[in-house]
Amino acid sequence: MGRIIHIGSDHGGFELKSELSAALNRKGYSVDDLGTFSEDSVDYPEYGAKVARAVLKDGDFGIVICGTGIGISIAANRFKGIRAALCHCSEYAKLAREHNDANILALGGRFIDFQTALEITDVFLKTDFLGGRHKRRVDLLDNI
């Protein structure tokens, strides 16, 4: 498969990040775990920024997780070229890829279980951007 997934979380997403990283490794993805590495309290903007920078550098996908997924997605979306989408179900993940060409998946570690997170992640990683009229809109995002 060969694709690198940059992943990061705060303490609120640490448990889900650990489970998801292991599952993605088993599926053959190379997982670049950017922390945090324990349940000690940390600040989500730092980890959203780490993942955003890695995605911009390598052009791969990222996954960010905090308690709700909100704070860390806001942090990642501060970077031009990042389209982080907070998804609660696989339908959102499909549309985030097809319509928004999302390059970072954001998850709420305190609100979804591992199995749901894995399904969302599978769909996100396997769905292609549709382009066409959606490309024009995505291009506009970088010119705001």
- Catalytic annotation, residues: 66, 99
CB distance 97 to 124 below 8 Å? yes
Between 14 and 29, whose beta carbon lies closer to ligand RB5?
14
User: Residue 8, interface with ligand RB5 (CB under 6 A)?
Assistant: no
CA distances from 7 to 2, 132, 143 (A): 16, 29, 27
Side chain identity at residue 28, one-letter code = G
| Token pair belonging to 87 | 């998804």
Closest approach of ligand RB5 to the CB of residue 86, in Å: 10
Any contact of residue 44 with ligand RB5 (CB under 6 A)?
Answer: yes
Beta-strand ranges (E) seen in 44-125 are 61-66, 84-86, 104-108
Please tell me whether residue 62 binds ligand RB5 under the rule CB under 6 A. Answer: no
- Counting contacts by CB under 6 A, is residue 68 touching ligand RB5? yes
CB of 94 to ligand RB5, least distance (A): 24
Q: Find the length of the chain.
A: 144
In the complex, which residues of this chain contact ligand RB5 (CB under 6 A)?
10, 12, 44, 66-68, 70-71
